[in-house]
């Protein structure tokens, strides 16, 4: 049973468009919510992260929106580029040691 539910499983967006990936969680003890980006044949790498006392965080074209009451958070990729084509994972930290629960992943394809 996945503690972090991620949707959609895949999405195709045109260059210049907006990609939106959503995640929902149940455990209110989660205290840190990163997003990881993974290119084929590589390990995931941290993209952007947010703490639950903040409702939005923006880094360049990537924005996390966080809704603590709804226990949901989402990644928005603005002005999507072909180089953004990758698999994106949301995650939630279960304890301060660094144990994370990951979502199932979203494969994003940006067409030229």
- Residues near another protein (CB under 8 A) are 2, 4, 6, 9, 32, 34, 36, 41-46, 49, 51, 89, 93, 96-100, 102-105
Helix H or strand E segment including 45: strand 45-50
Q: Work out how close the CB of 42 gets to another protein at its nearest, in angstroms, rounded to a whole number.
A: 6
Strands of 56-59's sheet in order across: 4-7, 19-25, 72-77, 62-67, 56-59
Q: Work out how close the CB of 23 gets to another protein at its nearest, in angstroms, rounded to a whole number.
A: 11
Residue 79 or residue 95: which is nearer to another protein going by CB? 95
Residue 17 or residue 104: which is nearer to another protein going by CB? 104
Q: Work out how close the CB of 20 gets to another protein at its nearest, in angstroms, rounded to a whole number.
A: 18
C-alpha distances (whole Å) from 89 to each of 2, 50, 94, 112 are: 13, 14, 16, 23
Nearest to 90 by CA among 5, 1, 19: 5
Residue 17 or residue 31: which is nearer to another protein going by CB? 31
């Amino acid at each position: 049973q996945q503690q972090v539910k991620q949707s959609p499983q895949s999405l195709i967006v045109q260059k210049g468009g907006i990609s939106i990936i959503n995640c929902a969680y149940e455990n209110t003890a989660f205290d840190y919510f990163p997003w990881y980006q993974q290119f084929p044949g590589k390990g995931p790498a941290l993209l952007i992260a947010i703490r639950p006392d903040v409702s939005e965080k923006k880094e360049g074209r990537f924005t996390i929106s966080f809704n603590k009451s709804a226990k949901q958070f989402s990644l928005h990729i603005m002005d999507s580029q072909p180089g953004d084509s990758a698999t994106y994972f949301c995650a939630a930290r279960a304890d301060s040691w660094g144990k994370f629960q990951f979502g199932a992943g979203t494969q994003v394809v940006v067409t030229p």
